[in-house]
Structures are given as structure tokens and as C-alpha cells.
Amino acid sequence: MSRSKTIGVALSSVLLGAGVLSLMGFGLASAQPHQPALTATPTGTRGHVALTISVYPDSQFGGNRGTGGAHPDWVSYSNDNLVVPANSVVDMTVKQYDSGGELNNSVFGNVFGTVGNTMNVNGKEVSSWDPTSIGHTFTLRGISGDGTRLMVSVPLPFDTNKGAENNGGGVEIAPMVVKFSFKTGGKGVYQWNCEFPCGGSRQGQFGEAMSTYGYMSGTLTVK
């Protein structure tokens, strides 16, 4: 069995089994209002669009601030409401400003579902990252009404060499810049979240910010 298929089977098993933990907070999430839609823009390459988001140690950090909502101290993505076109290649950039640690499950240290099953970290092309040096993950999954399946998971590293460089709150001055591409199919709404245990003590660190739209969970709408 090829490496990509092996990872795919492992990731599918984890998402089907442990996914209950990471997604069980979506009942709470549904009560949180979505942020304004962030729509991907054409890149100039036919069939490609670009989307850039950031990950912050709290929802008040950075120039592209989150709304803060009821929990401004919670870790958050800059936007939870992503919109991309159908049948296209999404060239995505994630700027990771937060610290991190060790994953609960090392399978999420692998890149899966991207073009080539790789990501680019600060200019270096890789297919995985040390599972003890992860800040967050961008993990997207779902099946649309027409049967289109999306399953993409990308680890978002933190740079252990920059641990002492911060501008307050343990935040690195320069983010880890992660780039990857994935293909969309038919129209549908998919859910994404983080699989690094960065929530509260409830549900094994998979509660609170991790399971709430506007923080570490959101949707990808394919139009």
C-alpha cells in the first residue's frame, strides 16, 4: 500500500472514531454567528483561486482581528467562514502565529488531501512535520449533496527556535507561513476544525475554542 493510501486509511479511521470528540461541540458552534464571508480571489492562473487566513493565540490579536465575541482570550483563526468556487484549485496560505506542543495523535502531523500530499513551510516543501512541534491543524472534511468528498488535513507548525521572540503573550513576531493547494469538486458546505488539543479541559481539550465557530472551527462553502 502506498504512503498516501496508508495515511488516508489512518486519517479516515481517526476522523470517524475520534472525530466525535473534536466535532461534538458543533452544537455549541451553531449558536455562534458566522463572521462575514472570506471569499477566495482569482490568482491569474486559470482554475486557481487564493485564500489567506491566520491563526492567533487569541481572537483580539493581529491586524486582521477576529470578532472576539464572548471569549476574546480564546485561540482563533482570523475567519471561520470561507467561500471558494466549485471545480477549482484553492491555493491556500495560513500564517501561524501561535505556540504549540505535541499532538494527541501523530497521524495529524502528516499532510493529506492536498495537491501532491505536501505543504510548503517557510519556503520548504514537506509532507509531514514533527508531531511534537505543532501549533494547530487545518482539517477539512465532509461529503456534499452530490457525493463530492473533501478530506484535507495540514499540520501548522510552530518554530521552537523563536520561542523567546515575542511581542507579548508568547506570540512569535514572524509567523510560520504554510502554503498548500487542494481541489474542490461540486457545490457543498464542508466543516473544518483544528485537531491540536487547544481547547478547554472539557472533552479532552477538544471543547470550547476548538469546537466553536468563530474560533477554531468553521465552514468551507463551495459554490
- Residue closest to 179 by CA, chosen among 136, 217, 123: 123
Sorted by where each starts, the structural domains of the chain and their CATH numbers stand as: 3-222 (2.60.40.420)
Does an H or E element contain 29, and which?
Answer: helix 26-29
> Tens digit of pLDDT per residue, the chain (223 long)?
555 555 555 555 555 444 433 443 333 344 354 688 999 999 999 999 999 999 988 766 654 455 556 777 788 888 889 999 999 999 999 999 888 889 989 999 999 999 999 999 999 999 999 999 999 999 999 987 678 789 999 999 987 665 444 444 445 468 899 999 999 988 999 999 999 876 665 555 566 676 677 788 899 999 9
Q: State pTM to two decimals.
A: 0.81
CA dihedral 37, 75, 10, 185 (to 10 degrees): 10
Residue whose C-alpha cell is 456534499: 144
Q: Coil, strand, or helix at residue 7?
A: helix
- Residue closest to 19 by CA, chosen among 133, 104, 110: 104
Amino acid residing at 118: T
